[in-house]
Amino acid sequence: MTDIPGLPVVWRPRTTRVVAYATAGVIVLGMVLLAVVVAPQFKVFDRILMVGFGLFLGWVLHMFARCRVVADRTGVTIVNAFRTRRLEWAEVVDVSMSRGEPWPTVDLADGTSIGAMGINGTERVLAARQLDELQALVHRHGEAPDPI
């Protein structure tokens, strides 16, 4: 049985963050350098657009790198790339991730489900541990106590 972690706890993918931020840095730096050394037929406005495009791509990569799952005493916050969802423990029925899936699926009491991009399936050992911890918290905080 997995030990239940102390609250609050934050799960984030390591590889995704490293790759996204490194790629964003290379893109932004590359676009700035390109804007500086580009041929003279490109005007100032064109150069500004190049840097702006690099910054836009950097922002998109940041949005993917910020993904996380946060559990605290009152519930779970799932921060995906472009949407954040706050759930009370009673709303979360189960968390599951089949082999080969990119991230876990959080099943909700209303019959819907959402992905939790903060736990990355490609980090197999880390993802399995994080999933076990989240499942243990869901079963501890989300279920009604057994009647006596």
Tens digits of per-residue pLDDT, 102-146?
999 999 999 999 999 999 999 989 999 999 999 999 988 876 555
Torsion of CA 13, 88, 144, 5, to 10 degrees: 30
Tens digits of per-residue pLDDT, 29-87?
999 999 999 888 899 999 999 999 999 999 999 999 999 999 999 999 999 999 999 99
- pLDDT surpassing 80 at residue 3: no
User: For the stretch 82-102, what's the b/e string if a residue is b when 16 or more beta carbons lie within 10 angstroms of its beta carbon?
Assistant: eeeeebebebbeebebeeeee
Bridge-based pairing state of the strands 92-96 and 68-72: unpaired
More confident residue, 7 or 69: 69
What pTM was estimated for this model as a whole? 0.85
For domain 67-141, which architecture applies? Answer: Roll (2.30)
